[in-house]
Amino acid sequence: MNLETEVLGFKLENPIMPASGPLVGDFSKIMDISNRGVGAIVTKTISTKSAVVPRPCIYAERNFVMNAELWSELPPQEWIDNILPKLREELDKPLIVSVGYTEDDMEFLIPKLDPFADAFEVSTHYVGKDIERIGRIVRKIRSLTKKPIAMKMSPHIPDPVGFAKMVKENGGNAVVAINSVGPSMKIDVENRRILFGDKNGFVWLSGPYIKPIALAMVHAISSSVNGIDVIGVGGIRDASDVVEFLLAGAKAVQLLSSALIYGKDIYRRIIDNLPKVLKKYGFESVKDVVSTELKVEFSLEPKHPRIDLDRCTLCGICEMVCPYWAIWVFKDERKVVLQEEKCFGCGLCESRCPVDAISGVFER
């Protein structure tokens, strides 16, 4: 199965990259992640000063990660003198150097990083919501390098399409969507305190919880702005998630939190599983998914659920959750009654049935 994809002018062996973060924080970490088969490398965000990071700084549960990290805790000179030159020699795949944040930071950093970078990914996480300012940062970087520029968008940007247009108009080549969501917070009830975070107790949220937000932003941009690549990131934990992002309009994807939750093996596992999952959904290659147009179907006509009594275990979940009091489970008589006049065709019962005994609402 051909997993190749083209993004930022590169041909990648597969569409999986690490997202910027601790796993790509120095030379040996990057080489370890690279050896797990990813198609390209993205570094931890380098800025003009080392980050001073509160500890603890990472907390994870099954479906999310919270973090209080900033950018690289290493000084830029360490990257320029040691890490990037060694990577340039050892890496056998595109090296995307993540940088942040202001025009002044770019003035200082880009000329020094340019000899080592195949492309730049620019974090906009701490530069606010003003897309005019994003435009000025892109223009500044473009004046300093000929390399591809991917602007990483944070989900607090109110107008993702405007952001992408601004990137394109000022000479950028791609949008990476999305950075972590926030501010968010974790409470330690036992001790009547905020568990961890910045001086205000705030942290950033990432991982599977944020995937639906990331998908919507990727699709909003890719369906509205031509001539710009979109790289999808946010909550990917398996090969099916990768296919979703590619269908939403991404040409490649990145992930971090699922590696923090489930372990670093996840990169290899996703790459190994991708052919199987593509085949299961009838795709012949990654490019086949990328070139498939995602249908949007909008309907005002309700469709009512059909209940397959051979599959139904009479568990009663549909009755318990129905927001319209339209479905009733009679265990003794082994029957489920749908009152069509009450049913709104919302779909909740179908999505919550644990044995797929309900169908008909979402199908087209």
Ligand X SMILES: Cc1cc2nc3c(=O)[nH]c(=O)nc-3n(C[C@H](O)[C@H](O)[C@H](O)COP(=O)(O)O)c2cc1C
User: Which among 188-196, 230-238, 326-334, 345-353 is the span making contact with ligand X, rule CB under 6 A?
Assistant: 230-238
Can you read off the two tokens belonging to residue 259? 């590696």
20 belongs to the binding site for ligand X (CB under 6 A): yes
123 belongs to the binding site for ligand X (CB under 6 A): yes
Nearest to 244 by CA among 203, 201, 292: 292
User: Which among 63-71, 167-175, 301-309, 350-358 is the span making contact with ligand X, rule CB under 6 A?
Assistant: 63-71
3-class secondary-structure state, position 278: helix
Can you read off the two tokens belonging to residue 99? 């940088």
235 belongs to the binding site for ligand X (CB under 6 A): yes
Judged by beta carbon, residue 34 or residue 361, the one nearer ligand X is 34
Taking the complex as a whole, the smallest distance from the CB of residue 117 to ligand X amounts, in Å, to: 15
Judged by beta carbon, residue 116 or residue 209, the one nearer ligand X is 209
Given candidates 5, 30, 69, 307, which one binds ligand X under the rule CB under 6 A?
69
Taking the complex as a whole, the smallest distance from the CB of residue 190 to ligand X amounts, in Å, to: 25
233 belongs to the binding site for ligand X (CB under 6 A): yes
- Applying CB under 6 A, the site for ligand X has a residue count of 26
Q: Distance between CA 145 and CA 143 in Å, rounded?
A: 6
Nearest to 47 by CA among 137, 181, 139: 137
Judged by beta carbon, residue 19 or residue 358, the one nearer ligand X is 19
Can you read off the two tokens belonging to residue 348? 């909740």
155 belongs to the binding site for ligand X (CB under 6 A): no
19 belongs to the binding site for ligand X (CB under 6 A): yes
Nearest to 349 by CA among 331, 364, 336: 336
Nearest to 222 by CA among 290, 147, 154, 172: 290
Within 13 Å of residue 186, how many CA atoms lie on the same side as its CB? 19
Q: Distance between CA 180 and CA 88 in Å, rounded?
A: 29
105 belongs to the binding site for ligand X (CB under 6 A): no
Judged by beta carbon, residue 36 or residue 318, the one nearer ligand X is 36
Judged by beta carbon, residue 20 or residue 34, the one nearer ligand X is 20
DSSP state letters, 334-355: TEEEE-TTT-----HHHHH-TT
179 belongs to the binding site for ligand X (CB under 6 A): yes
- Asked if 332 and 288 touch (Cβ cutoff 8 Å), the reply is no
Chain residues binding ligand X by CB under 6 A are 19-22, 44-45, 58, 65, 67, 69, 71, 98, 123, 152, 179-180, 206-207, 210, 233-236, 255-257
